[in-house]
Structure 1
Amino acid sequence: MSSRTVSRRTLLQGALVAVAFNPTSRSWASTLEAGAVPLPPLDGELLLDEASRTAASDDFGHIRHHTPWAVLVPGSVKDIVAMVRFARRQGLKIAAARGLGESHSTFGQSQVPAGIVIDMSALATIHELDADSAWVDAGVRWHELLQASLPSGKSPPVLTDYIELSIGGTLSAGGIGGQAFRWGLQVDNVLEMDVVTGRGELVRCSRWRERPLFDAVRSGLGQFGIIVRARVRLVDVQPRARTYLALYDDLHRFLEDQRRLIEDGRFDYVEGSVVSSNGGRAYQLEVVKYFTPGSEPQDSRLLAGLRFQPGTLQVTDGSYFDFANRLAPLIELLKQLGVWGFPHPWLDMFVPARCAEDFVQEVLSQTTDADMGQGPILLYPFRASALTTPFLRTPNDRHVFLFSLLRTAIPPTPENVASLVQKNRAIVDRLTAVGGKIYPVDAVPLSPADWRRHFHPHWERFAHAKRRYDPDHVLTPGQGIF
């Protein structure tokens, strides 16, 4: 039995559990009172206690707080089907939280005021693991899948930098990492899914079966269905990773070298960031080559022609898992210091390569170190041709740059948070003007009109999918799309 199962059972001990809903008072009841509608039979529990509901009113952003009426801790996929159907009949809203507080929700996206939040971390079983794929519950986290697949020399093709995220959570948004230039995003590497639609129907979908739902749910931001299981592609991976870090003092050369590297494919992983250097800023290239002991990479060949600053190169070797999990020690430190719990008004952008240099320089000129709160600034490209997911909106350009301002609000005051969110909004307006798109997990206030622009030219297709799969708008109101 896993520690997560034990802790979940401990949580449920003494918790206030709902058994009925009163449609007149629009409230839950822990006893079957007169006029109340009994809940459907559940393998798990619907929790009413303040601690459970308060936990579900927060996310990684710690900016917006909407307290639900109840939290479903499902004991099975059948519980999710039953509660979506119940919510639809009673005119309630419902959303899946992929492990409360994970970083793919920073602005209340998975919160449901006066509704039901599903704690998907309760479903976290790896059901099958074969040579080419893994069939997993949506609450499984990427690091858990990686630990299970690596003994067979297998890995998901794309991993986010932080692998504590849940599989269902990133498939609802996108899931980007340094391997995306070759493989696309995580949503481009899911083979099939079990989805509970807003109608309360459990549907298995893939590229060959129920394709419209498959295309809608990937990067669908929870609007059409709740991903409950997914078959994720696995690929062969070598056990060691050699990491090369080097600094550039010229943004133009940095961006050109990055684009060159994703085209010639000499590295397995290509990322980059903007870092503090000598009182100013520099651009750090981070590239990785995977290898087998005895067949070490040829450094001189791999680094040939790159125009980084002499004397700045750092080369380190480690295991593939330690590289994939490299943020864990830092995040543990941030948690110990209490900074991990500070507000995170993040901003992730997809910038067309044709204007990336000018746009990045413009934004950086307006972004102080204090604005970042020691949070990182990511900057790296991928190829648009690797993307297969219709509702993952990216600019119309051959190469697209992820440009992320992963802010921490220091001091964590409401005034500072509001100022940073306002700055995010101003940057997004400028991004839209140059043909860019957001990666919509951010702390940016967006109107329905903003969402229509974001999904253009697929807005009508998006709206049609909502009418088809969630006609009563039961699912995920926190995005504010409709």
Structure 2
Amino acid sequence: MQERESHAISRRSIMTGLVAGALVVGLDPVSRNWVTAAHAGGPFDAIPSLDGTLRTDAASLAAAADDFGHIVSRTPLAVLEPGSVGDIAKMVKFCRARGLKVAGRGQGHTTNGQSQVAGGLVIETAPLDGIRIRADRAVVGGGVLWGALVQAALAQGLTPPTLTDYLGLSVGGTLSAGGVGGAVIHHGAQVDNVLELQVVTGKGDVLRCSPTLRKDLFDAARSGLGQVGIITEAVVRLVPAPATVRRYNLYYGSVADLTAAQIAMAEDGRFDYLEGSLAVVEGGHTFMMEAVAFDATPADDAALIGDLTHTSVTIDDLTYWDFADRITPIVGILQAIGEWQRPHPWLDSIVAASAVDELVTAALPGLTPANIGLSAVLLLYPIPTAKVKAPLLRLGSAGEEHAFLFSLLRTSSPGSADPAAMTALNRAFYEQTRARGGGWYPIGSNPMSKADWKAHFGPAWPAFKAAKTKYDPSKILAPGQGVF
């Protein structure tokens, strides 16, 4: 209650000009921009003119106070719908001068309030939606959805090398986290396929960065959780796109059999994409490796899977687009039955290969509808650690050749445990994985302390902290992450 009261007081103070009797802030009914006026003889300090819109209506604030997780709620003072990158720079400078926190928000697909800010400014990046295809690269706004980028690239016979399963996410959002997908076995994560970024720093500076220009900013912005800047544009590498996908769903009898097959195939390189999944079924669980070959034919089956040991297999053929966008129809179903709108206390742990069989197998008895919900998805991605180059995309401390992303995408469904109980289970699993050399992929629901974050970033922490001090010295950016 005390925190809510302090936020309310802060908002009321700013909006009515009671801060030192110096400033009146209101909403111009014509421009919908904040405007200021002298008050009680105080100095005139105008809100900058904007190309876009600064919203303070209740509906906009309520939307920005929520996210996909529906667990944490923090209400901002205002929401910026920018008409230009200049708007973002102006408002970051405005907020810094007044000690107001700022959070960038793409699709709000965070699950623990990471894109929220209490008593500050939320900046929507969705209006930054430009796409330009140039030979082997795409120049895209930070708010562009990966689905839109894939469609634009496919028109030129191209595709980003690595895609996450769900394409309804923003480019800036996934690049701030990492962007892990089944093609990581060949191409690394999405952050490993960025050639250049434009960011608005915590000082309000609009800066470009790359491996040869402001490398410290480039390294801190990729997988940097929005701590040094809001990604407003990215230059993304493109590769030739396949026309078709031949997908093999290979079933195994245990976690150990599945992970052994995944590691062998990641090292072998015969497949273009590898992912794994677990499913809760009556009487136990199923363990499936999804292995994909681009532009393969039935004649290739013997070469691709003839020497693999599996209990059963299903094979299907898809267009590349239908494969890339395969989650969208599932999302439609989840929305129709109400599961998409329910709380999502997601677990996303990085597990060392040496510990994955033991830890995941031990977790199986707890994977009941009561603890994971009615529409949970359980994924197990193999990650050859040498393929991940971005310094802030941490894969634990084990230093092994392989790691796994274990994603337990829980939903707090009717009759299931509440979000707090599910989050507690996430924390317990995270501590087990960390003790065995693993870590955390920071998109899920697992409140992290500053000490946790320092341990998470490990040897990359000093450079990250230095970049934070240099580019966001007032520490106003992305407070919902709790890093600094």
TM over 0.5: yes
Distance 2:106 2:447 in 1: 22
**Offset, 1:425:** 1.0
Matched, 1:398 2:395: no
Distance 1:284 1:87 in 2: 49
Distance 1:344 1:22 in 2: 39
Alignment equivalent of 1:95, drawn from 89, 103, 110? 103
Deviations 1:50-85 (A, max 9, x none): 000100001110000001000000000000011111
**Offset, 1:250:** 2.2
Deviations 1:157-200 (A, max 9, x none): 00000011000000000001100111000000000010111111
For 2:473, the equivalent position in structure 1 comes to: 471
Aligned pair in 2 of structure 1 residues 27, 313: CA closer, same or farther (>3 Å)?
Answer: farther
For 1:454, the equivalent position in structure 2 comes to: 456
Distance 2:236 2:141 in 1: 11
| C-alpha contact 1:243 1:289 (8 A) present in aligned 2 | yes
SS at match of 1:38: coil
Alignment of 1:223-242 (within 5 A): 223-242=227-246
Distance 2:456 2:24 in 1: 36
Distance 1:333 1:171 in 2: 27
For 1:12, the equivalent position in structure 2 comes to: none
Matched, 1:110 2:115: yes
| C-alpha contact 1:20 1:38 (8 A) present in aligned 2 | no
**Offset, 1:439:** 0.3
Alignment of 1:198-213 (within 5 A): 198-213=202-217
Paired AA for residue 188 in structure 1: D
For 2:441, the equivalent position in structure 1 comes to: 439
Alignment of 1:154-233 (within 5 A): 154-233=158-237
**Offset, 1:34:** 3.2
**Offset, 1:297:** 5.5
For 1:135, the equivalent position in structure 2 comes to: 139
Alignment of 1:13-52 (within 5 A): 23-24=19-20, 28-30=25-27, 32-35=36-39, 37-52=45-60
Paired AA for residue 382 in structure 2: P
| C-alpha contact 2:137 2:236 (8 A) present in aligned 1 | yes
Distance 1:19 1:40 in 2: 16
Alignment equivalent of 1:410, drawn from 410, 413, 429? 413
For 2:329, the equivalent position in structure 1 comes to: 329
**Offset, 1:251:** 2.1
Distance 1:450 1:172 in 2: 19
**Offset, 1:366:** 3.0
For 2:90, the equivalent position in structure 1 comes to: 82
Deviations 1:75-127 (A, max 9, x none): 0000001111111111111111012x32xx1000010000000111111111x
SS at match of 2:176: helix
Aligned pair in 2 of structure 1 residues 28, 290: CA closer, same or farther (>3 Å)?
Answer: farther
Alignment equivalent of 2:252, drawn from 238, 248, 252? 248
Alignment equivalent of 2:150, drawn from 131, 146, 150? 146
| Greater Cα offset, 115-124 or 249-258 | 249-258
**Offset, 1:27:** 7.9
Alignment of 1:285-296 (within 5 A): 285-291=289-295
Paired AA for residue 443 in structure 2: V
Aligned pair in 2 of structure 1 residues 48, 307: CA closer, same or farther (>3 Å)?
Answer: same
**Offset, 1:282:** 1.6
Distance 2:306 2:458 in 1: 41
SS at match of 1:462: helix
Please, which runs of 5 or more residues in structure 2 have no aligned partner?
Answer: 1-13, 29-35
Aligned pair in 2 of structure 1 residues 385, 57: CA closer, same or farther (>3 Å)?
Answer: same
| Greater Cα offset, 458-467 or 209-218 | 458-467
Alignment equivalent of 2:127, drawn from 122, 137, 161? 122
Please, which runs of 5 or more residues in structure 1 have no aligned partner?
Answer: 1-17
Paired AA for residue 391 in structure 1: L
SS at match of 1:82: helix
Aligned pair in 2 of structure 1 residues 112, 375: CA closer, same or farther (>3 Å)?
Answer: same
**Offset, 1:22:** 6.9
| C-alpha contact 1:21 1:29 (8 A) present in aligned 2 | no
For 1:305, the equivalent position in structure 2 comes to: 307
Paired AA for residue 457 in structure 1: P
Aligned pair in 2 of structure 1 residues 257, 125: CA closer, same or farther (>3 Å)?
Answer: same
For 2:386, the equivalent position in structure 1 comes to: 385
| Greater Cα offset, 210-219 or 392-401 | 392-401
| C-alpha contact 1:28 1:69 (8 A) present in aligned 2 | no
Distance 1:297 1:259 in 2: 25
| C-alpha contact 1:58 1:108 (8 A) present in aligned 2 | yes
Aligned pair in 2 of structure 1 residues 299, 20: CA closer, same or farther (>3 Å)?
Answer: farther
Paired AA for residue 141 in structure 2: D
Instruction: Tell me the TM-score normalised to structure 1 length.
Output: 0.91
| C-alpha contact 1:91 1:474 (8 A) present in aligned 2 | yes
Deviations 1:184-233 (A, max 9, x none): 00000000010111111111100111111000100000000110000000
SS at match of 2:234: strand
Paired AA for residue 171 in structure 2: I
SS at match of 1:313: strand
Distance 1:58 1:213 in 2: 29
Paired AA for residue 143 in structure 2: G
SS at match of 2:289: strand
Distance 1:416 1:235 in 2: 44
SS at match of 1:163: coil
Paired AA for residue 116 in structure 1: L
| Greater Cα offset, 257-266 or 24-33 | 24-33
| C-alpha contact 1:162 1:325 (8 A) present in aligned 2 | yes
Deviations 1:371-417 (A, max 9, x none): 1113111012111111111111112210011111100011288x711
| C-alpha contact 2:176 2:223 (8 A) present in aligned 1 | yes
Instruction: Tell me the TM-score normalised to structure 2 length.
Output: 0.91
- Between the two proteins, the alignment pairs up a number of residues equal to 456
| C-alpha contact 1:342 1:412 (8 A) present in aligned 2 | no
**Offset, 1:446:** 1.2
Distance 1:19 1:240 in 2: 56
Distance 1:211 1:314 in 2: 46
| C-alpha contact 2:280 2:368 (8 A) present in aligned 1 | no
SS at match of 2:138: strand
Distance 1:412 1:73 in 2: 38
Paired AA for residue 346 in structure 1: W
